[in-house]
Amino acid sequence: MTNWIEILEKIKLADYRALARAITGVENELDGYLPFLSELKINQEIPIVGITGPPGAGKSTLVNGLITEYSKLGKRVAVLAIDPTSPFNFGSLLGDRIRMSSHFLEENVFIRSLATRGALGGLSAKTIEICDVLRAFPFDMILVETVGVGQSEIEIVGLADTTLLVLVPEAGDEIQGIKSGIMEIADIFVVNKADRSGADAFANNIQKIIHEKNSEQQAPAVIKTIAAKHEGIEELVKLISEHKIKKTAEKKYLLLAEKAYRLIQNKRMKDINKTALLADIEAASAVPEFNLYQFITNY
């Protein structure tokens, strides 16, 4: 039996073990987790930075560099690494925390992986709730790294105060395709691995594309980094800070509305159990005249 009252009190005292227990309880929807969430004192001023982009862009390395930089500034940082999930057992396929292992023992850093459990959009369905748990803890910054599944990652914009889109010079030939999807959600464009050929031209191309869609005052920033060598990370931290200052009240309400929508959506889907659905599909589809649309109408 989870003692939520005890956990709540210990979170107020900045107890990392209690925080970890709370996240496990919320993620697995243990008895009492909803009243616990209702009692949280959530600090909405703690910024959430979303890091998204295609696979191989170096998101985890960039996150590692951001942790290092924020640690130098004496900041307390939480990291949620959203891992892709097996469609068969819903377990995590990757462990991005391994790449951040150098920070595991630092007192001001908390790192946690979450499986998507089949959720689309690069985020776990529980990410919003867990971010609110983290916002009840005295962190200075929360970093959320998405799976890297492509253009469906636009959900991060409904969660993060600042969204970083990480790209690499090799994406140059695909830029026209990218811009119709995740290109539109970024607050800051990060051209990582900028020591590779074509980085300058690629960054300039991004600048041209975003300025076609935005005025000079509204256009997202573009920055080149070499995360593996910690180059450009300090400048990136400054850009994140500047964006936080510029964040409008309008975006604040849009973020809250989007999060409310996702939470209501999840609540209404709670009676749909994927394991039971699989068993029902298996039984129903044994009939030759099986029709999926009739099946879902009666489900």
Q: Where are the domains of the chain?
A: 1-41, 42-268, 273-299
Q: What is the chain's length?
A: 299
Distance CA 25, CA 31 (A): 8
DSSP assignment of 230-266: TBSHHHHHHHHHHHHHH--HHHHHHHHHHHHHHHHHH
Q: Give residue 6's Cα distance to chain centre.
A: 28
Does the domain at 42-268 match CATH 3.40.50.300? Answer given as: yes
* Per-residue tens of pLDDT for the chain, all 299 residues: 789 999 999 999 999 999 999 999 999 889 999 999 999 999 989 999 999 888 888 998 999 999 999 999 999 999 998 876 544 444 444 444 555 666 667 889 999 988 765 444 446 568 889 999 999 999 999 999 987 654 445 667 778 899 999 999 876 555 655 555 566 778 999 999 999 998 999 999 888 888 776 665 578 899 999 999 999 999 999 999 988 766 666 677 877 888 888 888 888 888 888 889 999 999 999 999 999 989 988 88
Bridge partner list, 222: 189
3-state secondary structure at position 221: strand
